[in-house]
Structure 1
Amino acid sequence: MTTQTPVIVVGAAIVRDQSVLCARRSAPARLAGKWEFPGGKVEPGEDDAEAVVRECREELGVAVTVGAKIGADARIDERFTLRVFLARLEPGQPEPRPLEDHDCLAWVPRGELLDLDWLTPDVPIVEELARSVW
């Protein structure tokens, strides 16, 4: 029996003032309408921070500075593991816009994060983010 190495999926909890940028999925259909942190798979040869920077550029059209990891790794399924990092927009960046797989972005105040309908793997990370200091 071979053990498959989990694929790491990174997410960016982009913070500004006391709000976090949240992204609502538009695809695939089974995930549409659920909220998540923007991000995606770590590509071969990338570290987690490099993947966060690349994914924010591709999905949001912005450059970010990556900070500390938030919460524990979360299993998405038997193959994928989610790892979320704090991030901040680089100075002079435009307002983020949904370029891939999202139909809405929102700056959500810390106290309202748990009011959104999050993807299940994101929930423990959202709970940690809501009570952490950043």
Structure 2
Amino acid sequence: MVTKYRMSCSMSSVYSRSWGPDVVPASGGDGDDACMSPSPVAGAVIVHSGRLLLVRRASPVGVLLWTFPSGKVEPGEAASEVAVREAREEVGVSVAPLVILGSRVHPLSSRRVVYVACQLLAGEAHAASPREVAEVAWVDRGRLTELVPDGLYGPVQAWVNGRLASG
């Protein structure tokens, strides 16, 4: 279980005992949540059999077309919970969160993104939510460079590098 701690607008992250930094505070009803607008996003970073799971958005987020399965973190939710939920809802797979790889304000979307490494437990990836996802792809290193030419966020790239097949 992930333990969430409340934070104010002046704090940059929430820490949990079992997962490390987590972004969204448990709501206290005092208006602090308004400072988190727009809501942060949690992305599920899933590598299985040497391939990374990416989704092509039905509606691109700015110039972002290929992303991780991801979704909005609601107040009081842990990023790891959101990553599990979004993997199930968007691509129809069951995952277990492993570790939070880091978070940043994405340079192209201006949204705060928390990256959660996940282990695939079950399911065949497919566009389970066609309203959100047009296509899914398990990519090797070569295809990743083609689909995400600017590369991944440093800590995510470092984690993925040791797990991807060459291509």
TM-score by length of structure 2 reads 0.62
2:46 to 1, 8, 14: 14
Q: Runs in 1 of length 4+ with deviation above 6 angstroms? A: none
Kindly, what percent of the aligned residue pairs are identical? 32
Higher relative contact order at CA 8 Å, sep ≥6: structure 1 or structure 2?
A: 1
* Separation in 1, partners of 2:160, 2:120: 19
Q: Contact (CA 8 Å) 1:24, 1:104: kept in 2 or not?
A: yes
Q: 1:58 to 1:114 in 2, by over 3 A?
A: same
What secondary structure does 1:95 align onto?
coil
Q: 1:115 to 1:57 in 2, by over 3 A?
A: same
- What's the CA shift for 1:4? 2.4
What secondary structure does 1:22 align onto?
strand
* Separation in 1, partners of 2:126, 2:140: 18
Q: Report how many residues are paired.
A: 125
- Residue number in structure 1 paired with 2:115: 84
- What's the CA shift for 1:71? 4.5
Structure 1 or 2, whichever has the larger Rg, is: 2
Whose helix fraction is larger, Structure 1's or Structure 2's?
1
1:37 to 68, 92, 102: 68
- What's the CA shift for 1:30? 5.1
Instruction: Give yes or no for the alignment of 1:4 onto 2:35.
Output: yes
